[in-house]
Structure 1
Amino acid sequence: MNYRNILQIDDDYEDCDFFLEALREVSEAAYTSINNPIQALEHLNNKIIQPDLIFLDINMPYMNGIEVLTEIKEKELLKNIPVIIFSTSIPFEIINKIKNLGAMDYLIKPNDFNALKKFLNNLM
């Protein structure tokens, strides 16, 4: 699939910068990062942003990624947007939960720039 509008919901600014740098090397897709999950949901619900793919961290303040994924998949307006869980750790018991909630895929954040580029290149 050709994704043109990528949203990353992640409270870690450095991880967002790392992701953007890798994305820029493999795609010309528009990129938005929102570091507050509550604000991200508000922007999605109000159509301020309209991504065709979301990368979602699990461990965030205010609202965790599982809660955000649940909200996205329960909203008629948002439920068809593919979501990839993108987190530093994804416990095994969480993997089945995120799949059952409708996540398209999951990826443990790589520390290796080339590994991230390869994943993004294959995805795009």
Structure 2
Amino acid sequence: MRMTKSTSILLAEDDPDDCFIFQEALSEIPIATSLTIIHDGVELLHLLEYKESENWPSILFLDLNMPRLNGMECMEAISKNEKLQLLKVIILSTAFPPGVVDQLLQFGARQCIKKPGDFNTLVALINDALAITEENQEVIF
């Protein structure tokens, strides 16, 4: 019997509605996943710094606008930590101010995705993001 390893996903998102919609969209994707949700940047960095790298998520979806430490501050901290630089990070936001995307990509984000208003588009974006490779860096609007 062959076991399929599930894709471990970490969602750093402070908005409960966005968390719920993300969970619902993820349930539409035919990939075995496990989802952990945290609600601010301090909690995110604490979790990542104290977790063994073999237990890190396969991918981190990081909201740009969060309390305590925002997505940009988290990415800067991740970029300065040699171990954490290995994480695949996708940035989510309702808007990206000028210059922010370039900075996030320099800090190591794999993609910057504008949160869509349409559920099916969100499902497609998450599905596509799960298929990224380490070489890909993209902006999706």
Normalised by the length of structure 1, the TM-score is: 0.91
* Counterpart-to-counterpart distance in 1, 2:38 and 2:118: 23
Match of 1:20 in 2: 23
* 1:76 positional shift: 2.0
Consecutive unaligned residues in structure 2, runs of 5 or more: 131-141
* Alignment root-mean-square deviation, CA: 1.7
- Pair 1:122-2:119 in alignment: no
Task: Map Cα deviations across residues 49-91 of structure 1 (whole Å, 9 max, x no partner).
Answer: 6111111111111111100011112212211111111011112
* 1:3 positional shift: 7.3
Percent identity for Structure 1 against Structure 2: 36
Query: Which one scores higher on RCO, CA 8 angstroms, separation ≥ 6?
Result: 1
User: Any conservation in 1 of the 2:90–2:111 contact (CA below 8 Å)?
Assistant: yes
* 1:112 positional shift: 0.5
Largest Rg, 1 or 2: 2
Consecutive unaligned residues in structure 1, runs of 5 or more: none
Given candidates 74, 83, 86, the residue that maps to 1:77 is: 83
Given candidates 13, 26, 39, the residue that maps to 1:10 is: 13
Normalised by the length of structure 2, the TM-score is: 0.80
- Pair 1:104-2:107 in alignment: no
* Counterpart-to-counterpart distance in 2, 1:109 and 1:36: 18
* Counterpart-to-counterpart distance in 2, 1:3 and 1:56: 20
Which letter maps to 1:59?
N
